[in-house]
Amino acid sequence: MKIENTKAQMRKGVLEFCILSVLKDNDAYVAEILGTLKDAKLLVVEGTIYPLLTRLKNAGLLNYRWEESTSGPPRKYYGLTETGKLFLKELDVTWNELRNAVNIVTSQKTTKK
């Protein structure tokens, strides 16, 4: 078993949550979303993010709008829908519960039998 495969699966498991969180306060276009993820050491390529954004949009969690750019073609800005905001709140609760549970399990010094 390769550690890199496991690490990649762990990252993929939280990617939707992270993307929705990036869009929580402000709309953003793909380069901004990727930059935020990269700054957090979540390396994601465009080939991964576009299908994910489309899936989130088709699920009614995101919407988008086109905006003219001063440096190139128009940009597609993504934002959370009201459904997306509620979905993110639920994920946030679940993430906190999961994080706390994992912290408890991984910080235990001895195994109970």
CB neighbours of residue 23 within 10 Å? 24
pLDDT in tens for each of the 113 residues of the chain?
A: 889 888 878 888 899 999 999 999 999 999 999 999 999 988 788 888 999 999 999 999 999 999 998 888 999 999 999 999 999 999 999 999 999 999 999 998 765 65
Q: DSSP of 18-87, one letter per residue? A: HHHHHTSSS-EEHHHHHHHHHHTT----HHHHHHHHHHHHHTTSEEEEEEEETTEEEEEEEEE-HHHHHH
Residue pair 7/13 in contact by the 8 Å Cβ criterion: no
Integer Cα distance of 53 and 15 in angstroms? 11
Residue pair 100/83 in contact by the 8 Å Cβ criterion: no
pTM of the prediction?
Answer: 0.85
CB neighbours of residue 67 within 10 Å? 11
